[in-house]
Every structure is written in C-alpha cells, then in structure tokens.
Chains A and B, each alone.
Chain A
Amino acid sequence: MSHKMSQPPSLLNKWIQENNELVNKWKQQEKGRDTVRQDHNQPHLKWCSYEFHKLLGIIQGIPPNSDYTQLELAVVYNAGVCATAQAQFSEAELFLTQAAERVLQVTGGETGASDPLVCWRAVLKSVENTHLHPSVLYLVCLQWAIWLATCQLKTIQEFQEEMPSLFETLCGGVGDGAISEARSKSSNIPLMVMDPRRLIELLQICTSIALGAERLTEGQSSEALTGLQAASSLPAPRALVGYTHLLSGSCLTHMRRPQMALQCYRKALETDSRCVCALYQSMLIYRQLGNTQAEIQALRLLHSTLMLPSATDPALASTHLLSPSSLLCSQSLSSLLSVPSALSVLHSLALKCLLCGRVSEGVEHYLDLLAVLHSEDQQGLHTQDATIPRLPELYLEAGAALLMARRPADCLALCSEVISTTLELLPEKVVLEEPEERREAETRDTEGENRVAMVLWTAAAYLLQGHCHSHLKDWKQAVTHYTRCINLLVKVRLKKRDFQPQFSSADMDVQRGKDLCVLQKLKGLSLAGRGISFTQTDKLKEALRDLQLSLQAFPGIFLCTYRNLSLALCWTQQSSATEYRNLVLPSQPGDKKRMPCHLMNRINFLHPVKRNPLSQQTWINRESKLEHVLRVHSV
C-alpha cells in the first residue's frame, strides 16, 4: 500500500477537505437551525446531497484504488445518508451497490452477486481484518436503515439470523468511539455527516419497535412483548423508549391485562411526557373499565396535551439527519400510534361530560368546540380523521347540551342556524332506503348531500326548538315547532317496511337502520312533546291523540310521560279511563327498583365500545339526551 503513496497526495487531501468542508457546513447549518423544523433543512439537504453526489462522481471517475477507498466509502456513506434522509432510497441503494462492487474490485473478491445479502457477505469477507472493515460496516448499517425505512423487516430478520456475529459486532461498539473521536480531530480523515454509532443505536431500537408493532398486528402479542421489553432498556432517545412502553401496553391490552397495560402507559408517559398516544390508550382502557371519571380526566389531559404547540411537531423530531420517524414508517405502527385530533377529543370530552351528568362542563366544552370550528385560526382543522360527527349534528348536540343546562335561548339560536342552513334545500319528499342498502360509511361518502340526513337534522332542530319553547312555558310556540318537526318527518317515506326497529333487544345492530331508528324516535319525541304541550293548553283530546301516536311511533318515549300525574288525572277526568288503563298501566314498572325502560334503552345504546370508541353512536346518544330532556321536562 505504501508504494501507492507516491500518487500526488494533494488530490486525496483535496477530496478529503472537500468532503469535510461539506460535512462541517452541514453540521453548522444543523446547529444554527436546530430549533427550526426539519422541513426547512430540505433545501440545504438537497444541496448537500447534490454536492456529495458530485464529489462521489469525481472520486468514482478514477478506477477503484485502495488509497481512495476509505475516502470513497465515507463519501458514499455521506451521500447515501443524505439520499435516505430525502427518502430517495433507490438512489441510496445504487450508491451502496456501486460502492460494494468497487470494494470487491479493490480487494479482489467475487463480484456480480445480485442478492444484497450475498453481496454484503462477500464484501465483509473480503475486507475482514483490513482498515476498510469499519467503513464497510457503516455502509451495511446504511443498508439496514434503508431496509427499515422501506419496511423490509423480513430482510432485516434474515440478515440478523444469518450474521448474528456481525450484529453483535455492530451493536457492540463498531464505532470504536475513541478512535473515531481521535480521527475527527485529524484533517486528513474523512468526516461523516452522521455519527455511525448514533445510527446503530437508532437502528436497533427502531427495528425492535417496528418488529414489535408488526408482531402485535399479526396477533403475536407475547412475542412482541418480550422483544419490546428487551428494547426498552436500550440506549435511545426518550421518545423511542416511550414507544416501547406504549407498545408493551398495547400488547398487554390485547392480552386482556388492562391494569398492567395502564402501568405500561404510565411508564411511557413518565419516559416521554409528550406521548399522547399513551394518554389516549389509557383513556380507552378507562372507558372499557367503565371508569367514567378517570376517562373524563384522561380526555381532558389528552386534549390539553394535544393543544400544546409542541404537539403538532412530530414527536420524533431529532437533530440527526436520519430521523426515527423516517425509519418508523410501517403501516401497522402508524395505526397503533394514531391519536384522534384535538377536535375529536374535545367532542368526546364534551359528550362524555354531558352523558354522565356534568352538564355545565359539557356545555363549556361544546362551546369551545364551536369556537374552534369558527375561529380564523386554521390550527388543527386540517386533519382528515372523520371521527367527529357531521357539523349539523354537532350543532344539535351542542343545542341539546345548552337546553339541558337551562339555556334555551342559546339552544334556539343554534337550532335556527341549522334550520336556516338546510331550509332551502329540503326536499318535498324523501325515500328512506332499506337499511341493508346503505351503510354509515357510504352515507358519509355519498356525493352531494344526503337528503334523509338533511331532513332529520332539520326535524331534530325543530324538535329541540319545541323543547326550548316548552321549557320556557310558551306552549303555543312549542306546539308550532313540534308540528313543524312532525310535518317534516312525514315527508320521509319508507321504502321497505318490513324492518321494524326492535328497541328492546340489547344486541340490536344500531348501525343498521340507524336513520330509521332516528326517524321513529324523532316522531315519537315530537308527538309526545306536542301532546304534553297540548295538555298544558287544556286540549286534552289532541293531547291524548298525540301521545297515542307517539306510542305507536316509538314505544319508549311514551314511558317518559307516565309519571306525569296531572296528565293521568286529566285522562281519568276525561272519562278516558280505559285508555289510561290500556296505555299507562302496562308500562308502569311492576317492580319499583327496576330501571325504567327508556333508561335501559339508553344504556343499551351507549353500551357498544368499539375499537375506536370516539366514533360511537353519537346520534343515538343525542337522541337519548333529548329523551332525557323531555323526561326532565315532563316530570
């Protein structure tokens, strides 16, 4: 090798200097802009990548030469890292294969292996015990990173199995820290844009996380758990360690150990306070356990965390060129780490508060929600998760909340906003299709406006207005609005009548025939409301008629009125004793301790806890709230 030193050293030094200059420039840039988000490094990164590529082209312009090989490998590493950071993986892999071939040409190894595993084995073998070995190892690390970034976990696993020793070498201090430190002092040692030791640390934990996520998705929870628990002790950024705890928690949830899962989530939060997913997952567990207070607490925490400005930054922002987020891009992991938007959380919080009786709190949250929706600030709105209900439904929910909080005037305003929006578009008649033909997902995706939904929204708004007026004891207005509601509802024609909602069955598929269910419920509620309004204006005949119709439309609603003693008295006075006996008495609970049917219904509706509990039947919930309002009102 020494005879080669006769070659003009200036060229080598020049190239090394050029490389080092580029690296230093990059590091300077990185330091100067460490607070700035990564996006803004992009032009500079591109420039760096371009420059490294150019330099590499110059270096590779001469035939493979062992004197230059180390420099060349360093430049390949730098150019490859830059390319990978820009997600130009094919370009980076091209650098790597070219470099491998050139190394093999220098060392006289066997060239032409197309399989990257075979190729790398050959290269490593050929450079064994030479000074090129560490440099080649770095390139293998880069290859590993590319595999990880392109989610080729199988390849990584094969590689690990085939060359466990290599991995041990890699993991056990390839970098030989002291040496590289010493090297960096010298000017004729080529520098690297990213410390290989950091890269290896990152690769180890990211691989563990990605593998864990993959196994968890495949249902191998216990295997995933062991791997993740082992990874949690690795030296790594806090966020990544947090991920291992988080995923362990998810494994435990799958293994039906909610308390242990909660412990893991707490650990994840302790490790990384910004781990919103852990908060979210614990909230889900509390919900599953039926711990409403804790659930609300968790929701509130989750919301405030999401509202922090840092929450919008990627959790894994790093000053390294290769960020963990670019390495952890598998579908299964991202779905495991997904967290609903702040808006959605706020909505869940509001709804939860309302349903568990914390009305004023719920109202505040609803008002916050509406304020966010109408604020000029676009923050947080541009999420594509569709877990919050459609806007008119949100308005109506907020209206119902306001009414429950005894703010009928505000409720009226919200409802009239909904009505004024939909009024011009209401169809003269609308056909409600057979429940099987339409699904919730389709409903949401249909082009244009769903006419049935529009009618139901408007009708619900009228119903709420009717409730508001009866709350204000303006019975005439109440009758007017209930009548409007009824008039709207009768425009809906049912295409197939064989489907009768079975409200008593607990396992009723609420998804099916949801519109029909809502329609019947609205009919029942509006008729009952009008009936009650009629009793207040001493129109007992009409009242009786409406209440009977209400009973036909939706049996559950009627039960709300049986407690109304004055109403019952009215009937008996009106010599309608038979009606009273037929209608009221059978619905009286025989056992006083038994829960009234409508409450049971409500609980049935609330019960389903799905994978994503935030997208539960808010419609039904709202209707039950209305029912609640009516009940409160009529007693």
Chain B
Amino acid sequence: AMEGRCAVETWTEFGFLGTSTTPKVRFGTDVFICTGNDEVYVFSTHERKLKASNCFSVKDDLPLCCVSFSLNMTFHSCRAQSSSPDSSSIPAELKISEFLVIEADGVSSLLLVGTVLLTLSQRDSSWLMTLYKTPEQTESSSYEVLGSFSLPLVSAVVQADTESKTSVLICLHCGDTAPLTLPHGHFCLEPVLFKLLFGVEAALAKSPVILCGLPDGRLCFLPLRLPGARLRVLHSIEQPVVFVGASVVTETGPGHSQCLVAMGEQGRVVLIKTEKGRSEDGSSLAGFTEGIVSGPVQCGCLDRNCLYYSTGSDLLLLDLSEGSSGKESKERVEETSRKTLQSPTSLNVSRVVALAEPTSNTSVQLLGLSVRGQLQRISLPARRKDAGLSKLPSAQVGRSIRDLLSAIGDVCERSSVLKTAIKSKNQILRHLNQVVNISFLLTATNNTEDDPAIKEKPIRCHAMTSWSRLLQKDCLNLTCVLDNSSPFVLERGWTLSVTVFPLCCSSTAGEEISSANFSFPFQNLNSGETLEVLLPIAAAGDSSFPMTVNCSLIFSLSSLLGEQEAASSNISLPLNTLTVDWLNALQLNSPTARHKMVTFQPGSITTDPIQAFISSRQIRCSGRADRGAESGSRPEKYSASVRVSSELLKDSLVLKNSNLDPKISLSSLTVHACGPNGATVKLTAKKVGIVFSDELEVQVESSSMTAVCGLHHAVLSRIQVQTHTHTVRLNTIFREVQQNQISGALGVGMTAGQMNPGLLSVYQELRQNPLLII
C-alpha cells in the first residue's frame, strides 16, 4: 500500500450527526456548508474559523435543496424563503439576498454560467433544465427565464430506485475559448475531445457546454449558446451519477483537460478520452472506458491526474494517468485501464461525505467533510516525482524496479554494441581509405610504365637467393623482401602473393606450367618497414630456370567487411616482377665443386658467382668445335663467351633489378660452381683489350649443355638490360651529332671553330660509353 499515512487535521466541527440528507458543501476560500435542513455555515479556510452560522434558516417544511454561489457571492436558494438573517454575523463580502429568487419544484442542482443561472429539476415525466438570466444588481429580483430544455425520464422504475434526487451539473469550455479563471464546476476541455463529444458547432459558436449527470445514470449535455440546441444524452452509466469532472491526466496541453470522468454511486467509473486513429477511417474518436470500483461512492473530486472518492468507510485514490500510458492497441488500453480501475489506493480516511479538490500545488491536500460534521484537511503523503510508482503495491514496485533495471541493462548493452559497431565501421573506413590510397598509388605508377627506371613503385619487392640443405636435399630459397617506402601503412588484410613460374615453358612437352604460388598474409607494415619472406623455389636437379617471380599485393575485402558482405572480392595489385636466372641459382658451396679458389660467405652467395662469371674468359660459343679438343682433360665440353667492357659489366652488377651488391673485382677470375641441375660450371672472366683496353671476355664452360645455355642467357639478358639504358643514352648523342651536322650544313655563319667542340664532346661521350656488340 501507500507509504506513509494521510495527515488529517480537523479544522472545525459542525456537529450535524446523522442527518438523513447529504449536506451540501461548496468549497473555496470560504467553505459553505448546508446541513440539509435549515442552517448554512461559512468557514474561512484562511482564518480557519467559522465566519457565520445560522445565517440562513428556513421553514421546516421547505427544506433547502441546494445552494450555489455566484461570483458576487449572491446566495441562491431554490425552495427556501429566508427569514431575516442575523446581519451582524455575516461576513461583509457575503450578502444574502432575502428573497426567493426562483420558485421551482424539485430542483436538484444549480449552476451559474456567466450571468445565466441554470437549474435542473425533475418533473412528472421529464427532467427540465431551465435557464434564468440573473439581474445585474443583486437587489433586483427579476430572474427572467431565458429558456428551458427538457429530457424525458427513462422509466418510472429507474426513477423509483433513485431515492436521492441529486444530480450533478458542470460546465465545460472548449480549449482556447475558455475564460482565464474558471469558477467552481467549470472545466476547460481539450478542443478535439470537446468537438468529438459535443460537435463542431458548439466549438465554432465558442459555446460552453453544460454537462449534467442524472440520478438515472445518464450524462446529458447542452451547448449553451448554440441556436437550436437540445438537451441530449451523451452516455449512461446506469446508476446514479455522483460525480462528474474533468482531469488533465497527461500534461500536454496548457491545462486543458484530456479526460472526462463520471462516477456512479455503485462505483462505476467512465473515462472519456480522445482516441486517435481508432475508427476504421483513421479519424479520432471519443473513447469511453468503463470500469468498476467498489462502491458505494459518496463523493469524489479530481486533481490533475487522480480521482479521489469516498465510500464512507474509506477514502480512495484512483490514478487515471496509468490508463493513458499504453496507447498502442485498443486491447492494451482496455487492459491497462481495467487494471487501473481495479486497484485504487486506500488513503485510510473514513467517513468522508464531501470532498474538494486539492488547494495547494506543492502537496496534495484535500478538504473533506466527515459524516460527524468535521471539516478536515487531508494531506496526502508526499508523492515522489514518479507519481505512478509511489502508489503501486510493494510487490509491484519491486517487479517494476526489476523490469526497469533489466531494461536499463538492455539499453546499455545495446548502446555499447552500437558504439563498437560505429568504432569498427570507422576503423574499416580508415582502413579502406588506406587501401584505396595504396591501390591508387600502385595503379598510378602502373599506368606510367614508359619509363620504369624513373618511376619506381614505392612498394616493391627485392629478392635474394640462397641454397640450403634440408633433409639431405639441396634446395634454392628465395628471400623476398617487401619494401614499403610509401607514406601509407599496409595494414591487416594485405597479403603478399609471390608467384613463381618458369620463364620459358616447353610447349612441346605439353605439360602444365608448373607455377608455384605463395601467399604471405601480414599484419602491419608501416611506412619504411620491410617484410622478409623466405620461399623455396626449386630443389636441386630442377633445371627450369630462369624463373619469373611475380610479386603482388592482395587485399581481401572479406577479411575487412566480413564474408557475407564482400563475397570473395579481392583487390590484387601487381608490384614488380623479378627473374631468378642461372646465375642466381649457381651453387658455389656445393660439396660437388671441385675448385676451392673462391671462398664465400653466406651473405655474398649471389655475388661470388658473378665475380666468377666476370673472370671467366672464353670468347667463342662454338661448343661443338671445342668439345673434342678439350674433352680429354676437362669435363667442360661446352663453352660460351661474351665480350663486354669492364665498365658495362660493373654497371650490370649494380642493376637494381637483380639486387646484387656491387662487389666486383675486375681482376681475372675463374669460378667453379655447380648449377641447379647438378652440372659443374666454370665461369671465367679475363681481360682481352684488343679494341679497348678495358674489354673483358666472359666465358661459360660446362659439360652440361643446359647449364651453358642457361648461364649464357643469364649473362646476356643482364647485359641487355644494361645496354638498353646505354642505347637510350646513345640515341641522345646521335641526335646531338645530327643536330650539329644539320646546323653545320645550314648554318652559313657558323665557323668551324664553333662546330668542333660539339663534335668533340659527342665523340668523347661515345668513347666514354663504348658500345658493346655481341
């Protein structure tokens, strides 16, 4: 139940115990209490004392039926003719008119709307609402009848059941047109609900609407200022209406009531609210939500979102705002509202027969009148910010807290998941940006392939070969070094792919190209870093040299985006192509090598065969002619030679393409080595110097034809690469020479002295870069 108890403070006691009729009470700054027979008390809530009593007494046979008060505190009584009041005891602001203003039988309630006084009375066969024009001066007695509206009684049976002929009259104003301060019994209704209930005409006429609750349970309404209006039935709760009011419920509008509440004697409650989009055509409807609380209801009052009612034995609180929380479906609304209506909260105050709405805004305070005649102020325990929770039973509170906590957990989890997702997406984006940059970089250099020497790819591979012995078997390994000299980082997802295949495949054999593919995924390669991978390219005895090594970088999108998003779409960026030729594959440290003239360190394995090659000196390639002459003493039956300038040879050694260290010795050398097919080879380089002094002859000698051919090809192809650059240079020289000749031929004014230095320089240049002819 509710935490804390209601504080009940008794202000005064009137002592009208056990009167048969319910007392009439009008709350406000002054509380007017009519005991039902002959006395009216006035109590000031500010001064907290009785201002006047017995100020109004009537004859016994004409019981005072109902009282109402206008703004100027005129006291209207229906069936009473007052005796002269004791003027000394009446407060100054309270003037009680001594005359009978209206004589009408069976008036059950009164309401003052502006200058119009409304009475509701029961006639033989109908309910009659009569409108009177109140005079401007209070002293005048002319209450002019403006009109009257009647509504037939339902049946005599219903009427017989209702002993108490009390009815309720309230006045409803439409949203914006309502006056700023609403007197007692006036409410300002939210415009859409107003129009739905009472029609657009009433709204257009800016007419207040009178709503009356009858003892037969009907709720009737009358637009006050609408021509041709009639008293019509809005709804029926089928039991005497005890209370009708309007409540804000949800604090959306500026004080416009969203909910109309009617309460019957037997505890039937109807909430009337706007239900948006309920009807089949999508327009709003007025929704009537009915529920039953335990009766008998004696009185009730509303504050912003609560209905307070007294059953005589207890004062209860019904929260109306809960019903409006779930609006998803009609079932849900009904469910929640039913639940709401089934669990009113007890406030543990008994015997309250009249109630007034809370007077203060900070804490909920009710004014109540007990059956003993005690005027009480009932202060409800302070409600927490979340008003809905404080009124729930503790079990429900616990449950709802658990629900809330788990909901919070869910939300946290979801938010962290989302955060991670965002983070990873950002990562991926950054990553992709790098990838795009890199691919652009690599493809852009690809496109300008005209001059590969000038524009080298910032990411490229170098390679070195080495022999190693593994499981009694020699094999040639290639150490491939990926050099990232680009400003970008090669991140996770990149794979270095190295494809090795023979340069020339024997088409006659018809066998497949025996290519080998090696992939090296790597994690991170920062700018300036290198990655070294080792891969076997050939075993001893394999002679399918030279081999081409294609290096490329592969980026797999699936590794980045996940498999389902990028269906195996990879980005492949070719880097550079390396060639492993016979020279690279020579094995000097082979145990089969007979000559130990050349010692080598592991780091210079590729240099030594070159040096050996350079030192070899055999001019001719006529292997067949020499075979017979030299075969007796030597196993080398075939030989090939090439003449080359020492400078060119030097240059060819520093070709970046082959990654060879420029350790050269131009002294005459003879290298014995073992080829990959196991054949012994001899490389000789010696000075010949017939034409040019620095001319060298490189000779390859071997008993294996394959080895001689392979080595010869390797040497030639290296020199070819070098001559290619020389040719370019020569071309420019030739152009200059030609230019000079042409200018010489045409230039009449050009002296021979001017021409000679040009020719001289061309000549010198030609000399410095001697042409090599194979």
| A344-376 Cβ-contact flags toward B at 8 Å (1 or 0) | 100000000000000000000000000001101
Let me know if A427 and B279 touch, CB within 8 A: yes
Find B226's partner among A379, A391, A428 (CB 8 Å cutoff).
A391
Q: With a CB–CB cut-off of 8 A, which chain B residues contact A427?
A: 279, 281-283
Let me know if A430 and B228 touch, CB within 8 A: no
Shortest beta-carbon distance, A623 to chain B, in Å? 20
Q: Which of A343, A381, A427 has the most CB of B within 10 A?
A: A381
Contact of A382 with B by CB under 8 A: yes
Q: For residue B224, which residue of chain A has the nearest CB?
A: A378
Given A388-B227, A426-B283, A379 and B146 touching (CB < 8 A)? yes
Q: Which of B100, B115, B204 has the most CB of A within 10 A?
A: B204
The stretch of B193-201, B403-411, B614-622, B671-679 in contact with A is B193-201
Let me know if B283 and A391 touch, CB within 8 A: no
Find A449's partner among B147, B199, B206, B281 (CB 8 Å cutoff).
B199
- Across the A-B interface, how many residue pairs have beta carbons closer than 8 Å? 98
For window 413-463 of A, CB contacts with B under 8 Å fall at 417-418, 421-422, 424-430, 447-449, 451, 454, 457
Let me know if B205 and A425 touch, CB within 8 A: no
Q: With a CB–CB cut-off of 8 A, which chain B residues contact A395?
A: 204
Shortest beta-carbon distance, B381 to chain A, in Å? 40
For window 167-205 of B, CB contacts with A under 8 Å fall at 191-192, 195-196, 199-201, 203-205
Q: With a CB–CB cut-off of 8 A, which chain A residues contact B726?
A: none
When chains A and B are docked, how far (Å) is the Cα of A175 from the Cα of B116? 47
Given A378-B133, A425-B192, A429-B281, A418 and B142 touching (CB < 8 A)? no
Q: With a CB–CB cut-off of 8 A, which chain A residues contact B147?
A: 381-384
Let me know if A384 and B196 touch, CB within 8 A: no
Given A43-B103, A378-B116, A425 and B200 touching (CB < 8 A)? yes
For window 96-129 of B, CB contacts with A under 8 Å fall at 100, 103, 114-116
Find B201's partner among A37, A344, A391 (CB 8 Å cutoff).
A391
Contact of A163 with B by CB under 8 A: no
Contact of A588 with B by CB under 8 A: no
| B367-402 Cβ-contact flags toward A at 8 Å (1 or 0) | 000000000000000000000000000000000000
Shortest beta-carbon distance, B135 to chain A, in Å? 12
Contact of A39 with B by CB under 8 A: yes
Q: For residue B277, which residue of chain A has the nearest CB?
A: A428
Shortest beta-carbon distance, A210 to chain B, in Å? 25
Let me know if A378 and B142 touch, CB within 8 A: no
Let me know if A392 and B201 touch, CB within 8 A: yes
When chains A and B are docked, how far (Å) is the Cα of A318 from the Cα of B720? 143
Contact of A316 with B by CB under 8 A: no
Q: With a CB–CB cut-off of 8 A, which chain B residues contact A429?
A: 281-282
Shortest beta-carbon distance, B269 to chain A, in Å? 22
Let me know if B131 and A382 touch, CB within 8 A: yes
Contact of B284 with A by CB under 8 A: yes
When chains A and B are docked, how far (Å) is the Cα of A451 from the Cα of B279? 12
Let me know if A388 and B279 touch, CB within 8 A: no
Q: For residue A458, which residue of chain B has the nearest CB?
A: B200
Contact of A40 with B by CB under 8 A: yes
When chains A and B are docked, how far (Å) is the Cα of A412 from the Cα of B201? 19
When chains A and B are docked, how far (Å) is the Cα of A343 from the Cα of B227? 8
When chains A and B are docked, how far (Å) is the Cα of A385 from the Cα of B229? 9
Q: For residue A430, which residue of chain B has the nearest CB?
A: B281
Let me know if B114 and A454 touch, CB within 8 A: no
Q: For residue B114, which residue of chain A has the nearest CB?
A: A376
Contact of B59 with A by CB under 8 A: no
Q: For residue B199, which residue of chain A has the nearest CB?
A: A449
When chains A and B are docked, how far (Å) is the Cα of A383 from the Cα of B228? 6
When chains A and B are docked, how far (Å) is the Cα of A388 from the Cα of B227? 8
Shortest beta-carbon distance, A622 to chain B, in Å? 16
Let me know if B227 and A39 touch, CB within 8 A: no
Let me know if B195 and A386 touch, CB within 8 A: no
When chains A and B are docked, how far (Å) is the Cα of A376 from the Cα of B207? 10
For window 378-413 of A, CB contacts with B under 8 Å fall at 378-379, 381-388, 390-392, 395
Shortest beta-carbon distance, B126 to chain A, in Å? 14
Let me know if B228 and A454 touch, CB within 8 A: no
For window 111-158 of A, CB contacts with B under 8 Å fall at none
For window 541-557 of B, CB contacts with A under 8 Å fall at none
Let me know if B142 and A40 touch, CB within 8 A: yes
When chains A and B are docked, how far (Å) is the Cα of A434 from the Cα of B537? 93
Contact of B713 with A by CB under 8 A: no
Q: For residue A425, which residue of chain B has the nearest CB?
A: B195
Contact of B558 with A by CB under 8 A: no
When chains A and B are docked, how far (Å) is the Cα of A417 from the Cα of B176? 13
Let me know if B115 and A381 touch, CB within 8 A: no
Find B232's partner among A344, A379, A383, A447 (CB 8 Å cutoff).
A447
When chains A and B are docked, how far (Å) is the Cα of A378 from the Cα of B142? 16
Contact of B330 with A by CB under 8 A: no
Let me know if A385 and B191 touch, CB within 8 A: no
Q: With a CB–CB cut-off of 8 A, which chain B residues contact A421?
A: 195, 200, 203-204
Shortest beta-carbon distance, B149 to chain A, in Å? 8
When chains A and B are docked, how far (Å) is the Cα of A176 from the Cα of B705? 176
Let me know if B281 and A40 touch, CB within 8 A: no
Q: With a CB–CB cut-off of 8 A, which chain B residues contact A37?
A: 142, 144
Contact of B627 with A by CB under 8 A: no
Contact of A42 with B by CB under 8 A: yes
Contact of A526 with B by CB under 8 A: no
Given A382-B146, A449-B199, A418 and B283 touching (CB < 8 A)? no
Let me know if B200 and A374 touch, CB within 8 A: no
Let me know if A424 and B225 touch, CB within 8 A: no
When chains A and B are docked, how far (Å) is the Cα of A454 from the Cα of B284? 14
Q: With a CB–CB cut-off of 8 A, which chain B residues contact A451?
A: 281, 283
Shortest beta-carbon distance, A203 to chain B, in Å? 28
Let me know if B206 and A374 touch, CB within 8 A: yes
Contact of B141 with A by CB under 8 A: yes
When chains A and B are docked, how far (Å) is the Cα of A388 from the Cα of B201? 13
Let me know if A388 and B228 touch, CB within 8 A: yes
Given A373-B227, A418-B204, A424-B195, A40 and B284 touching (CB < 8 A)? no
| A36-50 Cβ-contact flags toward B at 8 Å (1 or 0) | 110110110000000
Let me know if B200 and A373 touch, CB within 8 A: no
Contact of A341 with B by CB under 8 A: yes
Contact of B94 with A by CB under 8 A: no
Q: With a CB–CB cut-off of 8 A, which chain A residues contact B225?
A: 373, 378, 381
When chains A and B are docked, how far (Å) is the Cα of A428 from the Cα of B195? 17
Q: With a CB–CB cut-off of 8 A, which chain B residues contact A454?
A: 200
When chains A and B are docked, how far (Å) is the Cα of A573 from the Cα of B331? 63
Q: For residue B222, which residue of chain A has the nearest CB?
A: A382
Let me know if A392 and B200 touch, CB within 8 A: yes
For window 200-223 of B, CB contacts with A under 8 Å fall at 200-201, 203-206
Let me know if B114 and A381 touch, CB within 8 A: no
Contact of B145 with A by CB under 8 A: yes
Contact of B51 with A by CB under 8 A: no
Q: With a CB–CB cut-off of 8 A, which chain A residues contact B149?
A: 382, 384
When chains A and B are docked, how far (Å) is the Cα of A421 from the Cα of B199? 10
Let me know if B200 and A422 touch, CB within 8 A: yes
Contact of B230 with A by CB under 8 A: yes
Let me know if A378 and B200 touch, CB within 8 A: no
For window 504-560 of B, CB contacts with A under 8 Å fall at none
When chains A and B are docked, how far (Å) is the Cα of A430 from the Cα of B191? 22
Q: With a CB–CB cut-off of 8 A, which chain B residues contact A384?
A: 147, 149, 228, 230
Let me know if B115 and A391 touch, CB within 8 A: no
Let me know if B284 and A386 touch, CB within 8 A: no
Q: With a CB–CB cut-off of 8 A, which chain B residues contact A382?
A: 131, 146-149
Q: For residue B104, which residue of chain A has the nearest CB?
A: A42
| A500-534 Cβ-contact flags toward B at 8 Å (1 or 0) | 00000000000000000000000000000000000
For window 206-260 of B, CB contacts with A under 8 Å fall at 206, 224-228, 230, 232
7 closest residue pairs by CB, A with B: A382-B147, A428-B282, A427-B283, A427-B281, A391-B201, A386-B228, A428-B281
Q: What would 7 more interface pairs be, CB under 8 Å, given A344-B227, A386-B228?
A: A373-B225, A378-B131, A391-B226, A424-B191, A425-B283, A449-B199, A457-B200
Sample 14 A-B pairs with CB under 8 A, ordered by A number.
Answer: A42-B103, A378-B131, A378-B224, A378-B225, A381-B225, A381-B227, A382-B147, A383-B147, A386-B228, A391-B201, A418-B204, A425-B196, A426-B283, A427-B283
